Amino acid sequence: MTDYIRPFGPTIYRAEMDSEELAMFTKCAEYSLEQPQPHGQQLAGNIAKQYQAKFEDREKFMSFVHKHVSAFTKYEMERANELLINPVNTDVDWKQMYFSLHTGPWINYQEANEFNPIHSHNGTLSAVIYIDVPKEIQEEANDGLPTNMRCPGQIEFLYGSDVVGSSGTHKIIPKTGDILLFHAGLKHQVYPFKSNVTRVSMSFNVFDIRYGKEVKDD
């Protein structure tokens, strides 16, 4: 299932991995934790364990990324065509679309009370892949605290300011197997949780999207 969420302008793409894809990312997270290569010094997160991702089969991973980046890019082009007098041709061979991830991806092993402050990313698009979201985190939303805004472990996107019909923010409660894609400049934050569990996610940025000429990662 794929959703194109537009709460305030920029699109947020949300899809689900199948069991084989999830198994690939789970194995990657385990391997990356066994031989950690710190990546946190390049990131905004207040998270102790943020490591460079290591794949047994990077080509398979890039094929997965290509599937979702091309779907999101095609949707955005078709949406833009609604406003153009001379629409751009979207009936192209999407296999000829190339991009670079530069130094990504990296894996976040978020634990209790850790968080990501409001920030944005470099590049054209950014992604979050949720490898393991323990049920205890979602259950915190029903812990009975006297508040009308429980948001443990949620990701919140911020755009513009509050106007009639739009709050300027949009929260998503992620679950295991979710993948999110969004414009890299879209500000967002990740709330902490208090359960004694680890939430595992992968992030990366997409650069240099083009057609007909391959771009090699650095």
> Distance (Å, rounded) from C-alpha 38 to C-alpha 206?
20
What pLDDT digit, counting tens, does each position of 188-218 carry?
999 999 999 999 999 999 999 887 655 555 4
90: helix, strand or coil: coil
Domain 2-209 fold: Jelly Rolls (2.60.120)
What pLDDT digit, counting tens, does each position of 118-127 carry?
999 999 999 9
Q: Give the E-state strand segments of 26-146 in sequence order.
A: 49-52, 97-100, 106-110, 116-119, 125-132
Q: Does the pLDDT at position 165 exceed 60?
A: no
Whole-number average pLDDT of the chain: 88
C-beta separation of 191 from 156 below 8 A: yes
